[in-house]
């Protein structure tokens, strides 16, 4: 898996956009970037993934730089329920497993 | 309907006992996993099964024995429980096909060994 680096924690005001960065400078051409989150006392939850192009779904947007060395997960209107640990993962293709790091603790505050 | 379910949710037991945790998914997925999250909150894969066949075993002590009676179920049996086995165990499943990094996790089983 490509190594990913995330800030240990971030705060965000409720209703504002939460922008979570991730560095993955050693990512190879066929490795996707995946984002998961884990709300307290729950199992990890898949959010979004992408390869080169920006992606958007009902939960979030994923912006990947042109050189693919970093990406940003955007929660457009953060709510208190978005408080969680967010994991950026670049798994080895067809490796059939996820390697979780420490992630970023996002605290959404009212 | 719960997509990935685990039983029990909580398990408190004595050292040396043998216990099982069960997992079921109703998503029609072919691949299932067990992950362990320890007190430091790091989540690590233990096992993966594809269509009832073991495909990943991440150097887990042989006291841990997964069993997959069919592709919708993956159980974890732990013999001779030790204090260090205390953790949260998560089951997950992924879609058929080549890319299996989109995984769906269960709610976890909180194991406490006394």
Query: Is omega for the bond preceding B8 within 30 degrees of 0, making it cis?
Result: yes
Whether residue B18 is predicted with pLDDT greater than 80 in this model: the reply is: yes
Contact A88, B48 (CB under 8 A): no
pLDDT in tens, B65-92: 999 999 899 999 999 999 999 999 999 9
pLDDT in tens, B96-109: 665 668 899 999 99
pLDDT of residue B101: 81
- Phi/psi region, residue B85 (left: phi>0; alpha: psi -120 to 50; beta: rest), is alpha
Six token digits for residue A92: 């080895």
Long-range contacts at B15-20 (CB < 8 A, ≥ 24 apart): B15/B81, B15/B82, B15/B83, B15/B113, B15/B114, B16/B80, B16/B81, B17/B80, B17/B81, B18/B77, B18/B78, B18/B79, B18/B80, B18/B81, B19/B77, B19/B78, B19/B81, B19/B111, B20/B75, B20/B76, B20/B77, B20/B78
Contact B4, B60 (CB under 8 A): no
Average pLDDT score over chain A: 93
pLDDT of residue A28: 87
- Indicate which of B29, B51, B101, B108 best probes the interface with A, i.e. most A CBs within 10 Å of its own CB: B101
Q: Which among B56, B104, B106 has the least Cβ separation from residue A96?
A: B56
Six token digits for residue A30: 């066929």
pLDDT of residue A91: 85
pLDDT band with cut points at 50, 70 and 90 for residue A64: very high
In DSSP terms, A105 is beta-bridged to A9, A85
- Indicate which of A44, A47, A105 best probes the interface with B, i.e. most B CBs within 10 Å of its own CB: A44
Six token digits for residue A88: 């950026």
pLDDT of residue B57: 84
pLDDT in tens, A71-100: 999 999 999 999 999 999 998 877 778 889
The tally of CA atoms less than 13 A away on the side-chain side of residue B86 is 11
B109 at interface of A, judged by CB pairs closer than 8 A = no
């Amino acid at each position: 898996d490509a190594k990913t680096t995330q800030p240990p924690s971030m705060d965000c005001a409720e209703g504002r956009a939460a922008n979570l960065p991730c560095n993955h400078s050693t990512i190879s051409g066929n490795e996707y970037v995946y984002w998961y989150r884990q709300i307290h006392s729950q199992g990890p939850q898949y959010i979004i993934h992408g390869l080169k192009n920006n992606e958007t779904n009902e939960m979030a947007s994923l912006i990947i730089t042109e050189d693919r060395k970093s990406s940003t997960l955007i929660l457009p209107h953060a709510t208190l329920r978005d408080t969680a640990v967010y994991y950026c993962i670049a798994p080895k293709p067809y490796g059939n497993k996820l390697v979780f790091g420490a992630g970023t603790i996002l605290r959404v505050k009212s | 309907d719960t997509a990935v379910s685990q039983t029990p949710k909580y398990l408190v037991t004595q050292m040396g006992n043998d216990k099982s945790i069960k997992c079921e998914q109703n998503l029609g997925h072919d691949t299932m996993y067990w992950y362990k999250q320890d007190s430091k909150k790091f989540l690590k894969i233990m096992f993966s099964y594809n269509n009832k066949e073991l495909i990943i075993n991440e150097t887990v002590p042989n006291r841990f024995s997964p069993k997959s009676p069919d592709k919708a179920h993956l159980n974890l049996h732990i013999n001779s429980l030790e204090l260090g086995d205390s953790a949260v165990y998560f089951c997950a499943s992924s879609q058929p096909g080549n890319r299996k990094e989109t995984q769906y996790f269960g709610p976890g089983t909180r194991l406490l060994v006394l």
